[in-house]
Structure 1
Amino acid sequence: MFEIAVCDDNALDRKSLIERIEKNMPEPESMRIHEYDSGKSLLNSIKGIRFSIIFLDIQMGELSGEETAIRIREMDNNVILVFNTGFVEPSPRSFEVQPYRYIMKNMAADVMDRYIKDALKRMIEFSQAPLMKASVNREMLFLKADDIVYIEKYKKSTRVYISENAIKIYGIKADHNGQLPDIRIQEKLESIYEKLMVYGFGYPHDSFLINFKYLIYCTGKALKLKDVDCMFPITRSKAVEFNKLKQEFMLSKYKEGEL
């Protein structure tokens, strides 16, 4: 069951958006909508419900949509966020929480329907992404694609670096020196790439894969990922395919007329 949250302190706006979501549901029997009139009530529900997608107003009393989104990301790094607002333009803080879409309430009906359909389609695609079987401290760990920042070749296996939020969610603890344990996947990098390339991963170098979701800077020869100090090189042999996948990812996220 896909759990969908609609959070807006305006009852009429909630009703209107819910009607549009219901109209555009590709699989109505597998989707359930929950509505909230404040960021606080939504955050309380997240403790007991694993939402697949959240439609979130930005201008709300007491707790704004941006602040609510920041707190959501502290609890769940994978849920799809869609900002839905009447007046506010996106700020740098808006993009820090990685919204998938930014919908204006005064959009033309056909455009809004297209954005909603696309967000729901993305929600379904995410649910179909494979879980990656990994190990940490000799214990099994099943990682979602969105948990992974990058994967590198390491000896005869691969080593995985996951997001800070994922580290918290999985309860992975550092040792007394502050070092996190290695997370390994016992597969070749090439075979992992075949599984993940359609879910927003690129292969810029023979030694590692990266998740475009965490890409914050990229030139023709190097890239930088969120929460990672080093720069990653892009080799000439991988550049064409890598840039093609990067462009497809960016276009799927920020289409013409979107932010």
Structure 2
Amino acid sequence: MKTQKYLTAGKYATIGGSMVHILICDDDAAFAQGMAKKILALSVYSPKSMNVQCLTDVNAMSAGALTKFDILFLDIDLGNKNGIELARVMRKHNAEAVLILVTNFSEYAPEGYEVDAFRYLPKAELDRKLPGYFSDALAVCRTRQRKVEIYCEGESMPVPVQAIAYVESQGHEQCLHMIGWSKEELYTRLTMAQLEELLFPQGFLRIHKRFLVNMAYLQSLQSTGAVLTTGKSLKASARNYRENQQKFVDWKTQQIW
């Protein structure tokens, strides 16, 4: 029998960010500490919402130790360990981390694609490239961190916005269809009107009385239907088509700028 998790109304949700955890993983302690000081001195760094840690003990380096971090500066050459292999295992448990590979060896570049490396940071160019790379990584991290915090059975459940593909009305309850999360579906007794009010500022569009779609997954919108990037087809309301089409265009323009 399928166990369903119900999200209850009341104090049902808040929008908020969280602490950005940054790790410098390098077996050269002096280099790691030096990089940490440079990050702390950057104008975009905020001690109220970020923290930086260094991991320099090779024996303590494991995929598990890396999974709790949001931004990861990982040295590729870790003595008897391979940073790429470490990242490959880490990715199985943390697909959202912004990974910057720190290296002096450009030949590793093809392998970086396998672990979804965000940037390559040559150690010789640290002073020049670190400020821009860190700012870019922080921007991506903040986008990925957007969460809708929903109270479930008296407890807070932070749900990543980007993990909700669309919401479907199913009578007295609504189903949140999830992507890349621990559950494929979440169920709530909130009304579609409540969910629309909560999620519209986060980029969701009510295309039909039964469907509320995350525009990040909206591939095309027509007067009678919509297609998501996942290949899923949904009904759309012809009555609100022009208004919704304009909202979709406006949203896409905001993403470009």
Alignment partner, residue 164 of structure 2: 149
Matched, 1:85 2:102: yes
| Residue of structure 1 in register with 2:251 after alignment | 245
Structure 1 residues 45 and 248 mapped into 2: Cα distance closer, same or farther (>3 Å)? same
Residue aligned with 2:247, SS: helix
CA contact (8 A) 1:160 1:183 kept: yes
- Which amino acid in structure 2 is aligned with residue 209 of structure 1? V
For residue 38 of structure 2, the aligned residue among 20, 28, 32 is 20
2:71 aligns with one of 30, 46, 53: 53
Residue type at the aligned position of 2:174:
T
User: How far did 1:131 drift?
Assistant: 0.9
| Partners of 1:8 and 1:57 within 8 A in 2 | yes
CA offset digits 1:157-195 (Å, max 9, x no partner): 32113345523xxxxxxxxxxxx7x52123344543554
| TM-score, normalization by structure 2 | 0.61
Q: CA contact under 8 A between 1:133 and 1:185: conserved in structure 2?
A: no
Distance 1:247 1:70 in 2: 35
Identity %: 14
Match of 1:224 in 2: 229
Looking at structure 2, the residues matched to 163 and 141 of structure 1 have their Cα atoms a distance apart, in angstroms, of 20
Do 2:98 and 2:141's aligned partners in 1 also have CA atoms closer than 8 Å? no
Query: How many residue pairs end up in the alignment?
Result: 220
The Cα of 1:89 is off from its aligned counterpart by 3.3
Letter in 2 for 1:102: R
2:210 paired with 1:209: no
Q: Give the match for residue 192 of structure 1.
A: 195
The Cα shift of 1:113 comes to 1.0
**Residues 1:144 and 1:152: Cα distance change in structure 2 (over 3 Å):** closer
Q: Which has the higher contact order (CA 8 A, sep 6+)?
A: 2
Q: Which has the higher strand share?
A: 2
What is the deviation of 1:209?
2.0
**3-state SS of paired residue (1:166):** coil
Distance 2:32 2:99 in 1: 14
Q: CA deviation at 1:73?
A: 3.8
Letter of the structure 2 residue corresponding to residue 242 of structure 1: F
Q: Please tell me whether residue 7 in structure 1 is matched to residue 10 in structure 2.
A: no
Q: 1:141 to 1:195 in 2, by over 3 A?
A: same
For 1:124-135, what aligned pairs fall within 5 Å after superposition? 129-133=147-151
Q: Check the 8 A contact 2:168/2:174 in 1, yes or no.
A: yes
What code does the residue aligned with 1:3 have?
H
* Kept after mapping to 1: 8 A contact 2:168/2:177: no
Quick check: 1:4–1:32 contact (8 Å CA) kept in 2? yes
What amino acid sits opposite 2:207 in the alignment? H
CA change 1:52–1:233 in 2 (3 A) is same
Q: Which structure's CA Rg is the greater one?
A: 2
1:104 partnered with 2:121: yes
Q: Using structure 1 for the length normalisation, give the TM-score.
A: 0.60
The amino acid of 2:99's aligned partner reads V
CA RMSD of aligned residues (A): 4.2
Segments of 5+ residues of structure 1 without an aligned counterpart are: 168-179, 253-259
SS of 1:68's partner is helix
Cα pair distance change 1:129/1:94, threshold 3 Å: same
Q: Equivalent residue for 2:12?
A: none
